Amino acid sequence: MICWNKLWKTGFLAVCCLLGSCQENEVVPGGTEGNGKRTVLIYMNARNSLYGNVKADSLELVKGAKNMSADDRLLLYVCKDSLSYLYRISAGGTKLLLQCGPTQNASNPKQLEMLLKWTGEQFPSQSYGLVLWSHSDGWLPSTNVSRATSRGFGIDVGADGNPWSDRTSDGNLGVQMNITDLAEAVANSGIRPKFIFFDSCLMQGVEAAYDLRNVTDWVIASPAQIPGVGAQYTDMMNEAFFQDPLNPQAFTEGYVKQASTYSEYGDMGVVLSAVKTEKLENLAAVTKTMIQKYAGSSEPDMNGVLAYDRYQWQYFYRPEYYDLKQVMLHLITEEADRQTWTAALEACVLYPAATPYVNFWSNYPSDRLVLTPGEFSAISTFVPQQRYTTNAEACIYGDLNQAFANTEWAKASGWTENAYLKSLTTNEEK
């Protein structure tokens, strides 16, 4: 036992050196020698305007852990204020495994990579799960190109930043993690999570899911805004995280049930789906055939198509995040092709679930998006539009058409070969 503790401490201190200024005397042995069934790492990137929700969600986890099996393990990483903490939460209580100083940055993909790697070494399990908790904008380009090439997941304003405004001490938006960097971090860790659950906004886009297709079995997320209170983690602990076999439907329908039951959600509502990543390449191939056939050299007409966000300055000129199903069925006119494409979608994007409506930002009825069962897929996509290039200088994300053209999904689904998108990205159309 003494020998094992020494090895545990030596291995973890190696991780600490890579991650930054962690105190050796804060390390508390907490790993396990035997294999477990599933270990879930919850990664709270909370050094931002969501930090006020950390306590409630943490207490929900502690409450949910009372019913945990001894074969299941839960790790909670919290980057908040000037310090970062790693805890093990179990039916027997909560242990602090590590406390780190202000140099930590939760949006650093290397930090995520090393925490996942250590999790696999110290908590070997038959399967793993990863929960990513923070702000997010899906695949969108970074607002600060000197820090990241894509907005993706998370905002970390640093120990001296202003979390209320999501700004660093120099006034920039907090550091963000590129989705492709996130995928690389997971791949390099040696851990393949059974699921990645984003408890953050706008992450269920086909562009982001496609980037994650080789590092997880399931991507579970929302294409729309997520209420700041996030998931009810006691329920998620009991009904979703540790179910064997994994039941993605418990995540999507469970979250909707929570938003319909608990008063703290107000009227915000939620919409989620689960993407089976092994089916994404086939979906891309079928989509490519349809884009080549139906998307020509003119701008696609998106009138009447469901959009999960608004293209307005109040919303930072983010794109609309159109519903993928509605986009493609709007473009495809032949019934046989509609059926072929829909079959590929339904094999890949499963268990769409939603409250009767979701709100874009506020609880006002005028800010509601009505969701009719059967008419939405709960996964978004980008559609090229002239205005994204015209307004590029006014958009904090730059030229969204060019950014989309650079995604792996755009290349695989045929959009980069589309005459209209080419005209926008080569400045042929003014």
Q: Token pair for residue 312? A: 């307005």
CA distance 271 to 55: 24
- Say what angle helices 324-331 and 335-348 make with each other, to 10 degrees: 160
3-state DSSP assignment of residue 98: strand
CA distance 225 to 240: 21
Does 258 share its domain with 389? Answer: no
Among candidate residues 213, 245, 276, the one where a domain is terminated: 276
Indicate the number of domains in the chain.
2
Give the CA diameter of the chain. Answer: 71
List the domain range (segments joined by +) for residue 292: 280-425
**What is the rounded average pLDDT of the residues 294-303?**
96
**What is the rounded average pLDDT of the residues 287-303?**
97
Does 202 share its domain with 254? Answer: yes
Does 78 share its domain with 115? Answer: yes
Among candidate residues 276, 296, 319, the one where a domain is terminated: 276
Q: Is 357 a domain residue?
A: yes
Does 264 share its domain with 330? Answer: no
Does 176 share its domain with 317? Answer: no
Among candidate residues 276, 311, 335, the one where a domain is terminated: 276
Please name the residues in contact with 20: beta carbons below 8 A apart, sequence gap of 6 or more. 100, 101, 103, 104, 111
Does 270 share its domain with 302? Answer: no
Which pLDDT score, from 0 to 100, does residue 87 have? 96
CATH number at residue 171: 3.40.50
Does 412 share its domain with 394? Answer: yes
Q: Is 14 a domain residue?
A: no
**pLDDT tens readout for residues 351-368:** 999 999 998 877 777 788
CA distance 354 to 130: 22
CA distance 116 to 191: 7
Please name the residues in contact with 171: beta carbons below 8 A apart, sequence gap of 6 or more. none
Does 263 share its domain with 340? Answer: no
**pLDDT tens readout for residues 20-79:** 444 433 444 455 556 899 999 999 887 766 767 788 989 999 999 999 999 999 999 987
Does 250 share its domain with 399? Answer: no
> If we measure between CA atoms, which residue out of 117, 230, 135 comes closest to residue 176?
135
Does 242 share its domain with 315? Answer: no
> If we measure between CA atoms, which residue out of 69, 66, 81, 77 comes closest to residue 36?
69
Q: Answer whether 216's CB lies under 8 Å from 246's CB.
A: no
Does 254 share its domain with 349? Answer: no
**pLDDT tens readout for residues 86-130:** 999 999 999 999 888 777 776 788 889 999 999 999 999 999 999
3-state DSSP assignment of residue 303: coil
**pLDDT tens readout for residues 392-410:** 988 888 899 999 999 999 9
pLDDT tier at 145 (50, 70, 90 boundaries)?
very low
Q: Token pair for residue 76? A: 């909670």
Which pLDDT score, from 0 to 100, does residue 152 have? 57
Please name the residues in contact with 214: beta carbons below 8 A apart, sequence gap of 6 or more. 183, 187, 277
Quickly tell me which residue has 């268990």 as its tokens.
Answer: 351
Q: Token pair for residue 137? A: 């904008």
DSSP codes joined into one string, 371-426: --TTS--S-EE----HHHHHTGGGSTT--HHHHHHTSHHHHHTTGGG-HHHHHHHT
Q: Is 300 a domain residue?
A: yes
φ, ψ for residue 300 (rounded to 5)? -65, 135
Q: Give Rg (Cα) of the chain.
A: 21
Cα 56 vs. chain centroid, distance in angstroms? 20
Record the pTM: 0.88
pLDDT tier at 165 (50, 70, 90 boundaries)?
very low
CA distance 250 to 109: 29
Q: Is 297 a domain residue?
A: yes
Cα 323 vs. chain centroid, distance in angstroms? 17
> If we measure between CA atoms, which residue out of 385, 414, 420 comes closest to residue 400?
385
pLDDT tier at 134 (50, 70, 90 boundaries)?
confident
Does 325 share its domain with 394? Answer: yes
Which pLDDT score, from 0 to 100, does residue 279 have? 99
**pLDDT tens readout for residues 194-242:** 999 999 999 999 999 999 999 999 999 999 999 889 999 999 999 999 9
Which contacts of 361-369 are long-range, i.e. CB under 8 A and separated by 24 or more positions? 361/225, 361/314, 361/315, 363/266, 363/267, 363/268, 368/267, 368/269, 369/224, 369/306, 369/307, 369/308
Q: Give percent above pLDDT 70 in the chain.
A: 81
